[in-house]
């Protein structure tokens, strides 16, 4: 068995403990920290400014804070760490996607893009360039191989931290190269064991946050060159104009705050009409829908036959609902919910499950 593995080192406790577990299990571990161009890690020791970093190789002209932070991690684990600059790929593949989706009045999920394009895309390519064909991350998810060498993606055992949803768009080939050491573990246990071992992260930021936004996403969008913000009408579902909005980018399906139109009942965002730049609002019960269309399908293990009964999650925070999947003529998928679901949002990822196993997913249109 090839025991060489690269660990994506973010600076947080999850990737740090993942590397520790692999070292304990006899793997030959190398760390890789990638620069996105959005923020730097805290500096651990100012005296490192002129000190050679014997086990940290900087391929990307990192700032001194990042270099010293990775030296701190390297010394704890006694492993080499490579720093690589993936900011051009991150900017074009993740950040610009995020901006473009909001410009189309959709609500994007950048993590669903980042994992296949960056972590298990160009980062894995870098690992292969230094002779390592497998990459590990601190995701709370499980990979299970069956008796016929098939590969399956499952939820992490810690249901409060499960992150398999964010990995739903990985290809089978990418999963073959992936290791998730934390899949069987609980976050609380990891924190306690790390403390007992004296493992100290350099960042406390949770990986489920949008890593390139520090503060309000609306302020971030306003600062992007060419991002157009146009005021427009707020209407009820029957077309009655009841107010003005200052930009559709500030709203998403199911939102209540920020509408500011007094009525006998609370208004919720029911729709965003791109052609007329109109915000459509209505009562909460109007958010319920019987189904949706999904495009850009990515399958790990698709159902054997269609129509197929699965559980569908329409966003990460959604618990999931029983659904029937059937193909449409244009290659998209029709998702019929067995019970009405609230706030189905264009741009979000619909992920399909068979129990705890992820079958695949696509984008809600």
The structure tokens 């019987």 sit at: 290
Q: How far does CA 233 lie from the centroid of its chain?
A: 33
Q: Is residue 334 among the annotated active site residues?
A: no
Q: Is residue 211 among the annotated active site residues?
A: yes
Partnered with residue 245 across adjacent β-strands are 232
Task: Compute the C-alpha angle 304/310/314, nearest 5°.
Answer: 130
CB 68 within 8 A of CB 43: yes
The structure tokens 């998403």 sit at: 252
Reading the block at residue 327, the tokens are 């193909």
Q: Compute how many other C-beta atoms are within 10 angstroms of the C-beta atom of residue 335.
A: 24
3-state secondary structure of 4: strand
The structure tokens 């990192």 sit at: 62
CB 153 within 8 A of CB 167: yes
Q: Which residues are CB-neighbours of 333 under 8 A, at least 6 positions away? A: 293, 294, 295, 297, 325, 326, 327, 362
Query: Pairing between strand 357-364 and 349-354?
Result: antiparallel
Catalytic residue among 211, 261, 292, 334: 211
Catalytic residue among 114, 261, 292, 334: 114
Of 341, 250, 229, the closest CA to residue 292 belongs to 341
For the chain, state the CA radius of gyration.
22
H or E segment and range at residue 354: strand 349-354
Cis before 228 (ω within 30): no
The structure tokens 């189905």 sit at: 344
Q: Compute how many other C-beta atoms are within 10 angstroms of the C-beta atom of residue 326.
A: 12
Give the span between the Cα atoms of 337 and 125, in whole angstroms.
Answer: 39
Q: How far does CA 55 lie from the centroid of its chain?
A: 30
Catalogue the active-site residues.
Answer: 114, 211
């Amino acid at each position: 068995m090839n025991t060489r593995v690269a660990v994506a080192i973010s600076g947080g406790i999850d990737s740090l403990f993942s590397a520790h577990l692999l070292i304990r299990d006899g793997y030959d571990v190398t760390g890789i920290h990638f620069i996105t161009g959005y923020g730097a890690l805290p500096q651990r020791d100012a005296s490192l400014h002129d000190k050679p970093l014997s086990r940290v190789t900087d391929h990307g002209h990192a700032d001194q804070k990042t270099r010293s932070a990775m030296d701190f991690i390297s010394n704890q684990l006694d492993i080499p760490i490579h720093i690589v600059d993936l900011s051009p790929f991150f900017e074009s593949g993740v950040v610009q996607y995020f901006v473009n989706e909001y410009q189309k009045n959709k609500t994007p999920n950048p993590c669903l893009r980042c994992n296949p394009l960056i972590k298990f895309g160009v980062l894995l390519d870098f690992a292969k360039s230094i002779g390592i064909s497998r990459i590990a991350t601190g995701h709370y998810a499980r990979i299970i191989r069956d008796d016929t060498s098939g590969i399956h993606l499952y939820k992490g055992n810690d249901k409060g931290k499960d992150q398999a949803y964010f990995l739903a768009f990985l290809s089978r080939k990418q999963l073959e190269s992936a290791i998730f050491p934390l899949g069987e573990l609980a976050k609380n246990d990891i924190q306690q064991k790390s403390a007992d071992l004296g493992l100290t992260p350099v960042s406390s930021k949770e990986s489920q946050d949008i890593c390139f936004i520090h503060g309000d996403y609306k302020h971030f969008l306003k600062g992007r060159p060419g991002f157009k913000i146009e005021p427009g009408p707020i209407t009820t579902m029957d077309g009655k104009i009841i107010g003005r909005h200052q930009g559709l980018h500030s709203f998403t399906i199911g939102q209540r705050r920020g509408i500011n139109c007094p009525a006998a009942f609370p208004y919720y965002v029911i729709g965003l009409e791109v052609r007329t730049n109109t915000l459509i609002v209505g009562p909460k019960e109007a958010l319920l829908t019987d189904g949706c269309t999904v495009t850009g399908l990515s399958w790990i293990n698709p159902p054997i036959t269609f129509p197929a009964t699965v559980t569908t999650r329409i966003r990460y925070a959604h618990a999931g609902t029983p659904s029937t999947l059937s193909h449409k003529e244009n290659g998209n998928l029709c998702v019929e919910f067995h019970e009405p679901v609230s706030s189905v949002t264009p741009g979000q990822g619909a992920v399909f499950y068979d129990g705890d196993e992820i079958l695949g997913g696509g984008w809600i249109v």
